[in-house]
Amino acid sequence: MNNLNKRILTSIILLPLSFFFIIKGGSYIVGFFYSILILANFEAFSVFKRKITIISLDVILVLSLLSMIYLRNDTASSFVLLIWIIILTICSDIGGYIFGKTFKWKKFTKISPNKTLSGVIGSIIFSLATVFIVDFIMQIMSGTDSNFFIKTRYFVLALFFSLIAQIGDLIVSYFKRLEKIKDTGKILPGHGGIFDRIDGLMFVSIFALIFYQLNLFP
């Protein structure tokens, strides 16, 4: 089984499972996030030698998990925001992967050799598309055809979130480059480790909470 097939199979299993715990909330999401924290720490202490790297990743991870729990539990709007940023970071990753593999334009940075300008553009395009996806989901849930999400500020937020997700990916890639490793672990076939999978989401969730507190959403 090649890497792409492993990546797809892992996603098919993990995504519904993750959404189940997040939607259930309560002790389900707390237990789920504790599991992520434990596994991520096991990875960090196994592959990283620099204490500052381990501490930095741990602080960012804890802040992101707390941010997601807050967004899950505060209001219906914050819950929608949480679901949106999860969908957005997934789509941003998919868009970057597809465009990067298809067009193979100029390399974007030496920090992450596989990062290309075409991948950056693909990530942005797919992230903007999530505005329509979430709007469609909200229409189905409300039983109306009103546009809830098709507003300028949400496209602007989608652009910011996409850029933040990609910057987060580069930051984790920088940490890996310092240690001269490719992945933070092997627990997720096709994806690598926990930090490889949630690098963008960690940073986006923290900024999403900040934007939410600043009343930029809804």
- pLDDT of the residue at 2: 54
pLDDT at residue 189, rounded to an integer? 63
Angle at 184 between CA 183 and CA 189, to 5 degrees: 65
Judge contact between 105 and 116, C-beta under 8 A. Answer: yes
Ramachandran quadrant class, 131 (left: phi over 0; alpha: psi -120 to 50; beta: rest) = alpha
Domain presence at residue 163: yes
Residue 8: the pLDDT is 66
Is 27 contained in some domain?
A: yes
Asked if the structure places residue 170 within a domain, the reply is yes
Residue 191 belongs to domain spanning: 3-213
Q: Is residue 59 part of a domain?
A: yes
Q: What is the pLDDT of residue 205?
A: 97
pLDDT, position 108: 66
| pLDDT (0 to 100) of residue 134 | 92
pLDDT at residue 12, as a whole number: 72
The answer as to whether 218 is a domain residue is: no
pLDDT tens digits for 123-167? 999 999 999 999 998 888 877 777 788 889 999 999 999 999 999
Q: Which regions in the chain score pLDDT beneath 50?
A: none
Neighbours of 184 (CB within 10 A): 26
* Residues contacting residue 124 through CB under 8 Å, at least 6 positions apart: 92, 95, 159, 162, 163
C-alpha 108/C-alpha 79 separation (Å) is: 34
Number of domains in the chain: 1
Total-model pTM: 0.91
206 domain residue, yes or no: yes
> 80 in a domain, yes or no?
yes
pLDDT at 107: 74
Per-residue confidence (pLDDT) for residue 4, from 0 to 100: 56
